[in-house]
Chain A
Amino acid sequence: MENLIEVIGAGMRFIMEQERTDTLKEYLVKLVRRNLKYTGFTALKDVSFSVRRGDSVALIGQNGSGKSTMLKLIAGVMEPTSGSVRVRGSIAPLIELSAGFDVDLTGRENVFLNGALLGYKRPYMERIYDEIVDFAELHEFIDVPVRSYSSGMIARLGFSIATHVQSDILVVDEVLAVGDYNFQQKCYRRMEEMLDTGRTLLFVSHDAEQVKRLCRRAVWLDHGMLMRDGPSDQVCDAYLDWMQKREAQ
């Protein structure tokens, strides 16, 4: 099976200006004084792993472990400062609540806007439109501005769009916390179905149970470094052990 995602020795070092220069004046003053000091912060350090087509991989780790940075590199919104991240095929990220939706537009209009943001043209979105609305169970509300949706309704619509477009890779970033129990279960079933049809899943979570249920493999990051990469139950158990030990200390 071909590798859809290949992360080779990826490192990400943020350059943080010691005191952020937000204004032109500060910037110029510092530039003149040759006082632009930078400090570095390493978010990822020499991380390598790959994801094959049809795989389901979880990224786990505590807050600040580098999961989100890794995700941004894979999504292509950032480039690594060292090493390389190569992605073949299209990615559909589950866009978080506020980001991909325009609250003044109706649900229907947002489906097309969201689709366009993910790179899909209108005729294609029209073909899958009914399926999206069916899954999100939003028939009565689809022509109402999203402003009046509950957060659960927006999450349903977002999830439905991201999982119905034919992307090669679905990226799910702990958004399943919203939505009620029934919908969560529906989402899991949907993701399992997608995996059965050979789509690829990249799942970011710190909930070990969710990870074990959905993913065959897990990649554990801590402080920007790869701790372990292997079958999800083994990696999750090791992660939980490690967490307990740290707590005991």
Chain B
Amino acid sequence: MYGILNKLGIVKIILAILCALAFIIGIFSVFQIYVGGTDAISRVANWFMAQIGEFLLFIVIAATFILLKLTGKKNHPKIYFAIMIIGFLIAGLNSVPLLLTPVSISNANVEFNAGFGENWESTIPDDVKPFFMPSPFNIPQQFLGVPHKECQIIENVLYYEDPDEKVSLYFDVYMPKEPDENLPGNRSTIIKIHGGSWVAGDKSTGNMPVVNKYLAAQGYVVFDIQYGLRDTGSLGALAIITPENVIGNYTFIDMVNQIGIFTKLLENNYAAEYNANLESVYIMGGSAGGHLTCVTGFGYNEDYFNGTFSENINIKGIIPLYPPSSISWAGASGLLPGSPETDPELFDKYSPTANIDSNDPPCLIYQGTGDKLVDVSNSIEIKSRCDNVGVTCCNLLFPLAGHASDIFFNTNFGQVWLYYLERFLFLTQ
């Protein structure tokens, strides 16, 4: 062994170690994509690994060729072929989420056909199509990214203060550049609610500003809002994107109330100030924000929430991403007072599914089938409830995609999602 190392030279040894490291990362990624775990590292890895698989594919292939060169076919034929097989196996398994993109597109088409009829694509006028992505997926965008779209942005507008909790909540607003008459968005309003397990997260950097800009450039007025979070003492890695001013001892009730306050201010002040169309409003959010999206959107016209929200806003669509549907655990974590046994109505009304009725607007769901944090059964349950009462619901399932797998918006998951999101928004306005 020493002889081989000595022969290779120190540079080659370092190169071999780096290549072995690439293999280890590749194997870790394969494990996370196909098996996963419940520990903290696995949960974070679940966000990224399926999204970066195609990059690991090429890194591992390059590492394989380096190792093959270092080994030499003549010198060590068995090791040579072993490296070749292992390397290509790791690379191949990492590429599967990308290779399954046609399945994501096919799933989405089936959902849209069921929700909007077989000819839904032909209902989009020709003069609108140039504003949309021409195809659900393209390779250069996947690897090279796309520039952020141009729009107007006003940041950090204060909308709520709670002196007792020393909490102040702000929003950012993304608007189309003038003139915007011909844009498909027609200044429809999108209220975006960030994720973070109700204890962390933020607007802007924590809520995909690139998508906000994209939608604003299409003529939508996007309000990216903060809401009060529950103070759990330690936020771990999420502390990086969680500002101090949003942390208090808040429950789901407070969070929904704060969103309600925002809708009232939207009606009374912000709609006029930012020229937002209140006849066409969407609620959109991921993960914890997906839960709040569902409670707000489906509960908007429920008697239980009378007085909570503005009465002069017309909700045209509900867009939860990887939303948890069961909240029976919320009592134990202090996010709701009591328990499902002591206050069944409260737990029922703050669950994403209980408020779904035939009067609700269409719903578009993003869900990765490899999500280890919010299982795919959650979105299936929401979809099932919608179907039962006749509410249009398109559940876009992305094979092997993990939690928050749309976060890299130019990857295969993000591209397909954006393609159908912009069409959903237009079709339901």
A binds B: no
A interface residues with partner B (beta carbon < 8 Å): none
